Amino acid sequence: MDTGDRLLTPGEVAALFRVDPKTVTRWAAAGRIGSIRTPGGHRRFRESEVRALLEGEGMLDEVGEVAGDRPRNAGPAATGGPPGPANAGLY
Amino acid sequence: MDTGDRLLTPGEVAALFRVDPKTVTRWAAAGRIGSIRTPGGHRRFRESEVRALLEGEGMLDEVGEVAGDRPRNAGPAATGGPPGPANAGLY
DNA sequence: GGTAAGTAGGGTAATTAGGGGG
DNA sequence: CGTGTCCTAATTACCCTACTTA
């Protein structure tokens, strides 16, 4: 069960992705990444989910998009059935 | 049924939310989370309430998924443990 | 009774949330 | 369309000492 349910702060995730914390917050707002809200309104992200995203688990399209192409995001359409982030409409 | 009246210490709740014990105490002081006060003045929190807050507090009882009744994850268990980090917008 | 750990309390700095505009 | 940076406001984290709990 303990798949490493450690919660990371926006700053931690931002450092992992080398982006601004604001961008991470936008991902959570867009439902692209699961987020746990504290009673105070701050967000916490699951280390396991962040790691999966870092590996490319978010896009199950690792084949055919490696070289000589500009794949914006051909069909994210969740056809792969991401078991986790089912939270779409946030607010 | 038992509401899981197990009481958790501020340190336990803080570890669950990845915050400081002081922050948990502040939540109790602000009335954001129920707290039981000991005769000495220390606080105890209900395990059931804390868990509800972690899940998003959407009163969505996801207790019915015990046996393979929902073939949702057919491949990679990306998120790992909690398959449904469905959080609710609270702000 | 005594020791160690945790918690409460106040105060200050750092981080985060939200919106707007580039 | 997505990201980085600006602002203000709110929340959180770490500092301290004293008391309660185990």
For B50-85, write each residue's pLDDT tens digit. 998 887 765 444 444 443 333 333 334 334 334 434
**How far is the alpha carbon of B89 from chain A, nearest alpha carbon, in Å?**
5
Q: Which of A39, A80, A83 comes nearest B77 by C-beta?
A: A83
| Residue B34, helix vs strand vs coil | coil
Of B84, B55, B51, nearest to A85 (Cα)?
B84
Give pLDDT, residue A62.
Answer: 52
| Residue A71, helix vs strand vs coil | coil
Q: Which of B19, B83, B85 comes nearest A38 by C-beta?
A: B19
Give pLDDT, residue B46.
Answer: 94
* Nearest residue in chain A measured CA to CA from B71: A83
Give pLDDT, residue B4.
Answer: 59
- Sheet with B36-37: list strands edge to edge: B7-8, B43-46, B36-37
Whole-number Å distance between alpha carbons of B50 and A18: 32
A31 near B86, Cβ under 8 Å?
no
For tokens 């969505």, the residue is B60
Q: Which structure tokens are listed for B59?
A: 């009163």
Q: Does B32 touch chain A (CB under 8 A)?
A: yes
Whole-number Å distance between alpha carbons of A17 and A58: 13
Q: Does B71 touch chain A (CB under 8 A)?
A: no
pTM value is: 0.68
pLDDT band for position A4 (cuts 50, 70, 90): low
- β partners of residue A44: A36
Residues of B in contact with A4 (CB under 8 A): 80
| pLDDT tens digits, one per residue of B12-52 | 999 999 999 999 999 999 999 999 999 999 999 999 999 98
Long-range contacts of A59-68 (CB under 8 A, 24+ apart): none
